Amino acid sequence: MDYPLISCDDHLDLNMLPEDLWTSRLPEHLRHRAPHIEERDGKPVWVCEGDVWGSWSGRAAGPSGPKPIFTAFDRGGITDVSERRPAVPALRLADMDRDGVFAHVIFGPVTSINLEDQELRDACYRAYNDWLADYCRAAPDRLIGVPMLPEYPESATEEIRRLAAMGVFRQANMQIAVARPGLHDERWEPFWNAVEETGMILSFHVVVFLAGRGPNPAAGKVASHLIHAKSFVSQFIDPFVDLFAWGILERHPKLKIVIAESGVGWLPWLIEELDYRHWRVWEGEEFWKSRGGIPLKSKPSELFKRQIYATFQESPTAMALLDFYGPDNLLWASDYPHPDSIWPNSHAAIQRQMGHLPPATVRKLTSGNAAKLYGLDIDAAWKAAGLKAAQ
């Protein structure tokens, strides 16, 4: 391909982050409460306020700890470094070059920082986002970081304005599955205003819940491999419908939202159903027509195509739905460095699923749509970097 690929869903997971990220960046009076690494059951883990957040890959597990799972690095034949390499800019860039991908849109820990203390919680978000800004400055045209937003409206509003003022970020991620209160609440209105005014893109990524969200009966069982799939859709449906039902998208036409890693097949049916319900109460039923219809003038499908984008990895369903999404609203992703990613075989995967499409369509899906959405002069950056076209 003689143009730069942009992958729109890649990761810096909790296990990859620097050990001192929070202990070195939180305000002095909070550092004794900072997320930090401890060994539990022979395994290094992140701990905060007594809760285990997840594993850390900065050192090997002890003799009694679990064996490492298969990773993308195993598939790629990389055995001489730890899984923390995605958090080291030079190593990540080397992996991107090997895959023939010029730019990554990088999501941080796809979690909610579940802390009751607002000061500590907001400080943890700020510390991560500040570290991510420093990380992305190593190659700002290629490392497109997505900072994390608190799930509370006042904190999220303050943070997105701070992030926009930094001049580093184009997009921010909020876990709407755990938004408190729900998106129908008027407390969120200043946040939607802030997103529009700053020009930041807002993304919703699949959530992996941290400690304190309740027991998981499938944990450690075969069932977890299949039950996990339902969470990709179930956690999105309520807040996604709220964007239309409460007039959020209609009131805020400049709001752009990326739905990341939740699949694309469920959205067409839902939009079709929303259109039908909208028609019934706007002009289809005499009961509602006699009351002047409803204040929501725009069809959900019109709002969807104007303001919603979705990522896909290797998906025959996505290819079958190109007519529904149109040419501009689908964004290809490699999902580096997850075990189920397509790294380091992105070009082969693209050819496998898109080889039958016109080259211009493939370019839009794998580069052009993202460049337009994020305002990137990606071709100039690619040429300036002196990278060769991947074969």
pLDDT digits (tens, 9 = 90+) for 203-233: 999 876 544 445 667 777 777 767 767 777 8
CA 33 to chain centre: 27
Q: Strand 103-107 vs strand 308-312: parallel, antiparallel, or unpaired? A: unpaired
Task: Give dist(CA 47, CA 12) in Å, integer.
Answer: 18
b/e sequence 262-295, b meaning 16+ C-beta within 10 Å: bbbebbbebbeebbebbeeebeeeeeeeeeeeee
Task: Give dist(CA 379, CA 258) in Å, integer.
Answer: 23
Kindly tell me if the per-residue pLDDT of 313 is higher than 90: yes
Ordered domains of the chain (ranges, CATH): 6-14+75-385 (3.20.20.140)
Kindly tell me if the per-residue pLDDT of 91 is higher than 50: yes
pLDDT of residue 120: 98
Cβ 96 vs Cβ 142: under 8 Å: yes
pTM of the complete model: 0.91
Judge if the upstream peptide bond of residue 181 is cis by omega within 30 degrees of 0.
yes
DSSP single-letter state for residue 312 = E
Q: Which whole number is the average pLDDT over 247-272? A: 95
pLDDT of residue 73: 87
In this predicted model, which residue has the larger pLDDT, 218 or 272?
A: 272
The residues, ordered by sequence, that sit 6+ positions from 107 with a Cβ below 8 Å of its Cβ are 9, 10, 11, 12, 146, 173, 203, 205, 260
Between the alpha carbon of residue 73 and those of residues 13, 41, 69, 96, 336, the distances in Å are 15, 25, 11, 13, 10
Which DSSP string do the residues of 331-382 spell out, in sequence order? EE---TTSTTS-TT-HHHHHHHHHTTS-HHHHHIIIIIHHHHHHT--HHHHH
At how many degrees (to 10) do helices 223-245 and 266-279 cross?
A: 30
pLDDT of residue 367: 97
> Which residue matches tokens 């730069």?
4
Looking at every residue in the chain, the average pLDDT score rounds to: 89
> Which residue matches tokens 């997320």?
35
pLDDT of residue 345: 96
Beta bridge partners of 55: 45
The residues, ordered by sequence, that sit 6+ positions from 296 with a Cβ below 8 Å of its Cβ are 244, 247, 250, 278, 282
Task: Give dist(CA 252, CA 300) in Å, integer.
Answer: 14
The residues, ordered by sequence, that sit 6+ positions from 28 with a Cβ below 8 Å of its Cβ are none
User: Angle at CA 12, nearest 5°, toward 9 and 15?
Assistant: 140
Task: Give dist(CA 351, CA 347) in Å, integer.
Answer: 6
pLDDT of residue 211: 40
Cβ 304 vs Cβ 278: under 8 Å: no
Which DSSP string do the residues of 35-52 spell out, in sequence order? -EEEEETTEEEEEETTEE
Return the closest-CA partner of residue 366 out of 110, 2, 73: 2
- Percent of the chain with pLDDT strictly greater than 90: 70
pLDDT of residue 82: 67
DSSP single-letter state for residue 284 = I
